[in-house]
Chain A
């Protein structure tokens, strides 16, 4: 596990859960989907043309490396900009 939540001095939103590629990920209301994924060590957001996992890069909406699919709507969204909602289903493959 690489990315870790800062706990000192931080009170988060209520505990919620999303699923990413069918795996349940516990997170907190208000977190971005990207932060929730990284904190759960789901570090690859897609596979590139060489078959290598690719992570997010800019974390500010510019690079689109973190595009994921919201299963309910089929929308492709940047995980670094989208807030996680309880029960949200996310897929890393289009």
Chain B
């Protein structure tokens, strides 16, 4: 593949939003690069098995069908350079710095779309740094992509209904789930959905998927419990059990499923205006009707603008593609608006459903309680007690970072920032803008920084 270092459009993220944008831009003879950390496109929702694998009935549930169809169409596009295995580590208007197997490269483009997806909310509790404890999405990715069951008895615990789907996928693959524990009462979840029945009905396929997952779990005898909170994960050199409000149980892998936050490092680094994201925390990129951010030439779609699921991401990505075409003068306003009608309807519908899901899955009243020795910043081993002291002393997130190294490690605060901001918010209100985003967004070898281009 020829790889000129200037493109008309660069898209960060090959998930549903990035694919939809590229598809919307097809036919305009633009050069488009799509950067993704995974080797193959799909995003986390369609995290593909390795190219050399054959998987019968891969993600066969019909809810995945439209996304697979879009992935096929994306794969057939011409003029798209797929830069898999590359991490976007730096962003400013007009250029992106990416690191890949051959080191660092700078890629210039007047139009850049950030569709970088989301991540699991990291939730500190005693024992969560034991090997075998994962973000639930990580366990699901192993099942979908590597065709690996993370454990022989997997525990899933949290507040987000996705854990039902993850559990059902494990069971369908022949694995055993120790239990699925929802910290909130079942009635609270049902109430959230029942409050807006039409919105819920508008996404029947999701409700059916959840119901099918419940049926799979029931057939296998997997316990699904509500109003059961996780207080600690236990084990000596790996996780071997959990302490819950309903007693102890054994497991050899555990997935924490308390919600998802946008991956926001790149737009924050570029200086784009952000707002607090959903109840799980994190930062969402502010955008207009064409997914333009506050930075000229920079667009955002998908979970980057707020976690709302794959269908909303695809709709937003299409709008971003049309917006870019409009801004490049390839579409007139009337044509762009006409083309965007369907995507706008879809986006509104899926966001309404996501908002219901946010209410049903709201983790805020149900977080486990760390003790003072619980590590919050996994990279730098900074404990909750130390952070509490700094927060009580009135420190901002950046001040806490400087004083303690919390958020200064290789993950750049992605795991600890939401927890620290909750602590600050509880102490004196939600006005802290969090850590200042710094280059590089992903770990990078000094040798790569020093190497001549």
State the A residues within 8 Å of B (CB).
Answer: 2-14, 28-32, 35, 38-39, 43-45, 48-50, 52-65, 67, 74-76, 78, 80-81, 83
Contact = CB atoms under 8 A, between A and B. Distances in A.
A65 B119 CA distance: 14
Nearest to B39: A83
Given A6-B174, A58-B119, A67-B410, A31 B146 contact: yes
Nearest to A81: B37
Is chain B's interface secondary structure helix, strand, loop, or mixed overall? loop
B379 A55 contact: no
What 4 A-B pairs come out closest when comparing CB atoms?
A: A30-B50, A55-B131, A59-B138, A13-B52
Which bracket fits the contact residues of B?
A: 35 or more
Contact of A59 (B131, B134, B149): B134
Interface centre among A5, A31, A39, A60 (most CB of B within 10 A): A60
Given A10-B56, A30-B51, A48-B381, A60 B148 contact: no
Contacts of B175: 4, 6
A27 B415 CA distance: 30
B237 A61 contact: no
A67 B410 CA distance: 9
A62 to B, nearest CB: 5
Contact of B44 (A60, A63, A67): A60
B52 A30 contact: yes
B238 interface: yes
A29 B53 CA distance: 9
Interface centre among B50, B119, B135, B414 (most CB of A within 10 A): B50
Interface centre among A8, A10, A49, A53 (most CB of B within 10 A): A10
Given A54-B129, A62-B119, A63-B415, A3 B55 contact: no
B131 A58 contact: no
A18 to B, nearest CB: 14
A4 B130 CA distance: 19
Contact of B133 (A32, A55, A60, A76): A55
B146 A35 contact: yes
A78 B442 CA distance: 10
B339 interface: no
Given A58-B135, A76-B443, A29 B238 contact: no
Is chain A's interface secondary structure helix, strand, loop, or mixed overall? loop
Interface string B141-181: 11100111111100000000000000000000111000000
B131 A43 contact: yes
B304 interface: no
Contacts of B263: 62
A67 B143 CA distance: 21
Nearest to B37: A61
B331 interface: no
Interface string B439-453: 000110101000000
Given A58-B134, A64-B443, A6 B410 contact: no
Contacts of B223: none
A9 B443 CA distance: 36
A4 B149 contact: yes
19 contacts: A3-B142, A3-B253, A5-B148, A6-B147, A6-B149, A10-B49, A10-B54, A13-B53, A28-B52, A35-B148, A52-B130, A55-B134, A58-B122, A59-B142, A60-B138, A63-B411, A76-B443, A81-B37, A81-B85
Nearest to B146: A35
Contacts of B318: none
B148 A4 contact: yes
A2 B50 contact: no
B443 A56 contact: no
Contacts of B410: 64, 67
Given A55-B133, A59-B139, A76-B445, 13 more contacts: A4-B175, A12-B53, A12-B147, A30-B49, A30-B52, A31-B146, A44-B238, A55-B134, A56-B138, A58-B135, A59-B134, A60-B44, A75-B445
A63 B415 CA distance: 7
